[in-house]
Structure 1
Amino acid sequence: MNSLYTAAHNRCRGIFFLHGAGFASWVPHIPLVQQRLALSHENLGLALLAAAVGVVAAMPLAARCSNRFGSNTVVKFSGVLFFPALVIPLFMASLPTLAIALFVMGFCAAMMDIAMNANGVSLERARDKSILSGLHGFWSLGGFCGAGFATLWFTLPLSKSLHLPISAIILLAAHWYLQRGLLSDLVKPADRHKDIAHQTIQTGNQAIPNGERPIFWLLLPFGICAFVGQFGEGVITDWVTVLMIETHDSTASIAAAGFALYSAAMAITRLSGDWLVMRLGRPPVLIASCGLATTGYLIIALSPHYLLSWLGCFITGTGLAVILPLLISTAAASTGKSGGTVVATIAATGYTALMAGPPVIGAVAERYGLINAFLLTSGFLSLIIPVYLTSMRQRLKTVRNS
């Protein structure tokens, strides 16, 4: 049985890697599509918003399908749709058709994302050890490799329009091979511990069985923290290069290097996040992550030189890296709910924050300046600590780390 779990774990890592590589392969083509269709920034934003709408629309369906048919089955079929969907926007001839294509891409991407995270939750329960942060680390590695391959392709005398179709074919073939070895949700771990569904949640002086509390209230504090953390990710992704160029007169390459350091820190920390959770426990890791993310944003906002901004980017990436996978893992373990339900609920709040963060901060920056907007984000990230202290402290302590 251990060999089955190990093989399934490796296949799941591969699926996360391919999903990240797929997204990174599409991103370099966004300005090319914008140029080909002569879209303004506003119209391009509307088209990209269609992808975000597709993501949100897919979440409840992904949860229901994963719970009913098995997350491994949903990963299989959503991946078959997702990788070809990456190519479709390249051939759209107008803004409306581009928006439809991006809606489909976002929908398929979210179906696969929810299902592969639900499969990771099932595998984590079966292995009785923390693995979700490492899986997200492989997603980051996939993104790095996908972007690197695109950069290499674009520097060679090759047709840019061929890059994404060829990448999609490679990713699809790899996906078809890897998905066959994913763990079925029907495979149950050895009964080494009492079923988590019968555990209780300590609320004040009263112990309330998980099954007697509505799922909304069980997952609300995790969703709030996911919203805060993903808000921070969205802001730094879209605005940190702009801030460095505006405040330090940095070149585009210097600003890009800061974001690269942030991305590298995310990947490194996620790959080591499971070890940190098993060694230190979930509460210290969550509190430290919040503190690092808050501090990193402060450094970025207040630094007098781009070198300090680079340091802030690295610290922020280290802090934000494990918040989402830790929340998904802990919520699934402490509530006893199905992986699809937990992932979809928490991911919905996270994706909402990713969409809301950049425009909200843009509006704040327009009125009060980008530095103040980053300071505001730093303070917002610190809200994770009071949410943890008031509603999550006991649950994080009682969930096993091994």
Structure 2
Amino acid sequence: MQNLQTAHNRVRTIFFLHGAAFSSWVPHIPLVQERLDLAHDELGGILLAAAIGVLCAMPIVGRLADRFGSERVVRYSGLFYFVAVGIPAFMTDYLNISIAMFALGFSGAFLDVAMNANGLQVERVKGRSIMSGLHGFWSLGGFVGAGITAVWFALPVGNEFHLPVILGLFFIAHIIAQANLLSDQDATQHLASRHNSSGNSAKAPDGRNLFLALLPFGICAFIGQFGEGVLTDWATVFMTTVHDSGPTLAAVGFAVYSFAMAATRLSGDALVIRYGHVPVLLTSSILASSGTFILTVSPNIIIAWLGCGIAGIGLAVILPLLLSAAAHSTGKSGGAVVSVIAATGYSAIMAGPPVIGAIGEAVGLVSAFALTAGFLAMIIPVYLLTMRRRLQIAANG
């Protein structure tokens, strides 16, 4: 088997590049809205096209990752993703940008599920929590991508050159990084050898039983990812519209959000080990809801940045915590766990923005963000009703 630490570092890099590419596109959203003169519901419509792309990819990618190996799906899906991210910014009409957004969502979901599946394989072989750290590298990439974009927008250089240059560099980096990922075959052989030596041969659920076992995790993931999708796609629009901040200050706010998320995720594995799954999950829900509410009622751009930071801390570890706990409690990993949770929750990162776009057009963005803040607090009653026992099992397992 290849060097495990090298494989860990390579999948970290893939997470970083995915986040950096996506956050490089996000600050272009209000520019696209202004250039095409899109209303909030029309902007929500093109974001819905991306959500449809995500939903179309979900039933496919998990099976492909389990059949051909998550490392192979990471390798080839990345080649499409880093091209697809840059296309929407150059579309000149509603139909073409909707098609481009579909391609962005589809290719992004393929790479995202595959790299999470590969990360879960590395976590199981290493025998310790690493998923929060991997998502930390995604957010670190988001911070770097957003920071570079903010600097670029402030320079006397055409914004139209930003994505081709940056994504070209990320494309090359992906080609280098995808080599020496941990193969699913090596991971399976290592785990089989470990189980044989320990006498552990517990049978994991499959089929319908697996879906039912993972469904509560997916519901909580849906809530968290809904909020993350809204903050990711609409925070810059909110600050530009409500506070008349301009694209540069709005990009700074998104960079604050991304930095807070990255810092929390990078320390998230240690937090889970020290305090346990349940306190971290419930605290995350409270902070995510509070931060979004602060952003909603912020009287100026500085308070809006504060809200972005608190929301980033709260949203940081919800998804990686649930993925890791689900894999641990069911004995399954790879595409099986990621795709099932994604089917109920992960696609919300794309489904949330168009919903908020429609609500924002009807009653205003401030009310739409207030509803998002309330929705994020729903993780607590959902946990009490459906998640308590399973998360305790995962924590004690």
Instruction: Specify the TM-score bucket, using the shorter chain as the normaliser.
Output: 0.7 to 0.9
Aligned pair in 2 of structure 1 residues 128, 51: CA closer, same or farther (>3 Å)?
A: same
Q: What do you get for the CA RMSD once the two structures are aligned?
A: 3.3
Matches within 5 A, 1:263-274: 263-274=258-269
State the Cα distance separating 1:261 from its structure 2 match: 2.7
Aligned twin of 1:40: 38
Query: Is the 1:277–1:401 contact (alpha carbons within 8 Å) kept by the matching residues of 2?
Result: no
Query: Is the 1:197–1:210 contact (alpha carbons within 8 Å) kept by the matching residues of 2?
Result: no
State the Cα distance separating 1:354 from its structure 2 match: 2.9
C-alpha distance in structure 2 between counterparts of 1:258 and 1:90, whole Å: 21
C-alpha distance in structure 1 between counterparts of 2:310 and 2:368, whole Å: 18
C-alpha distance in structure 2 between counterparts of 1:304 and 1:33, whole Å: 26
The structure showing larger relative contact order (alpha-carbon pairs under 8 Å, at least 6 residues apart) is: 2
State the Cα distance separating 1:45 from its structure 2 match: 4.6
Aligned pair in 2 of structure 1 residues 387, 118: CA closer, same or farther (>3 Å)?
A: same
Aligned twin of 1:139: 138
Give aligned-pair identity as a percent.
56
Matches within 5 A, 1:244-263: 251-252=245-246, 257-263=252-258
Determine helix, strand or coil for the equivalent of 1:221: helix
Aligned pair in 2 of structure 1 residues 365, 393: CA closer, same or farther (>3 Å)?
A: same
Query: Is the 1:241–1:255 contact (alpha carbons within 8 Å) kept by the matching residues of 2?
Result: yes
State the Cα distance separating 1:300 from its structure 2 match: 3.8
Aligned twin of 1:227: 222
C-alpha distance in structure 2 between counterparts of 1:379 and 1:227, whole Å: 14
Q: Which amino acid aligns with 2:257?
A: Y
Matched, 1:76 2:75: yes
Determine helix, strand or coil for the equivalent of 1:224: helix
Aligned twin of 2:307: 312
Determine helix, strand or coil for the equivalent of 1:314: helix
C-alpha distance in structure 2 between counterparts of 1:305 and 1:382, whole Å: 24
C-alpha distance in structure 2 between counterparts of 1:131 and 1:237, whole Å: 24
C-alpha distance in structure 1 between counterparts of 2:230 and 2:100, whole Å: 25
**What TM-score, normalized by structure 1, do the two folds share?**
0.83
C-alpha distance in structure 2 between counterparts of 1:391 and 1:358, whole Å: 26
Query: Is the 2:143–2:256 contact (alpha carbons within 8 Å) kept by the matching residues of 1?
Result: no
Deviations along 1:81-138, one digit per CA (max 9) or x if unpaired, are: 2223334446656543443333223221211111001101111111111111111111
Determine helix, strand or coil for the equivalent of 2:178: helix
Gaps in structure 1 of 5+ consecutive residues? 200-208
C-alpha distance in structure 1 between counterparts of 2:43 and 2:199, whole Å: 49
- Which residue of 372, 375, 383 maps to 1:380? 375
Bigger Cα displacement from structure 2, 38-47 vs 167-176: 38-47
C-alpha distance in structure 2 between counterparts of 1:303 and 1:254, whole Å: 15
C-alpha distance in structure 1 between counterparts of 2:238 and 2:161, whole Å: 34
State the Cα distance separating 1:212 from its structure 2 match: 8.4
Query: Is the 2:47–2:353 contact (alpha carbons within 8 Å) kept by the matching residues of 1?
Result: no
Aligned pair in 2 of structure 1 residues 364, 123: CA closer, same or farther (>3 Å)?
A: same
Matches within 5 A, 1:384-395: 384-395=379-390
State the Cα distance separating 1:334 from its structure 2 match: 1.2
Q: Which amino acid aligns with 2:284?
A: S
Aligned twin of 1:203: none
Matches within 5 A, 1:285-324: 285-301=280-296, 307-324=302-319
Query: Is the 1:197–1:211 contact (alpha carbons within 8 Å) kept by the matching residues of 2?
Result: no
C-alpha distance in structure 1 between counterparts of 2:314 and 2:233, whole Å: 18
State the Cα distance separating 1:8 from its structure 2 match: 0.7
State the Cα distance separating 1:301 from its structure 2 match: 4.3
Matches within 5 A, 1:64-213: 64-89=63-88, 94-156=93-155, 158=157, 160-188=159-187, 189=190, 198=202, 210-211=205-206
Aligned twin of 2:342: 347
Aligned pair in 2 of structure 1 residues 35, 229: CA closer, same or farther (>3 Å)?
A: closer
Q: Which amino acid aligns with 1:198?
A: A
Aligned pair in 2 of structure 1 residues 5, 302: CA closer, same or farther (>3 Å)?
A: same
Aligned pair in 2 of structure 1 residues 258, 151: CA closer, same or farther (>3 Å)?
A: closer
Aligned pair in 2 of structure 1 residues 102, 372: CA closer, same or farther (>3 Å)?
A: closer
The number of residue pairs the alignment matches comes to 390
Aligned pair in 2 of structure 1 residues 347, 197: CA closer, same or farther (>3 Å)?
A: farther
State the Cα distance separating 1:387 from its structure 2 match: 2.2
Matched, 1:280 2:278: no
Deviations along 1:135-177, one digit per CA (max 9) or x if unpaired, are: 1111111122223334444555555444333333322221111
Deviations along 1:54-84, one digit per CA (max 9) or x if unpaired, are: 2221111111110100000100111122223
Determine helix, strand or coil for the equivalent of 2:267: helix
Q: Which amino acid aligns with 2:20?
A: A
Aligned pair in 2 of structure 1 residues 372, 78: CA closer, same or farther (>3 Å)?
A: closer
State the Cα distance separating 1:229 from its structure 2 match: 0.9
Aligned pair in 2 of structure 1 residues 75, 398: CA closer, same or farther (>3 Å)?
A: same
C-alpha distance in structure 1 between counterparts of 2:265 and 2:396, whole Å: 16
**What TM-score, normalized by structure 2, do the two folds share?**
0.84
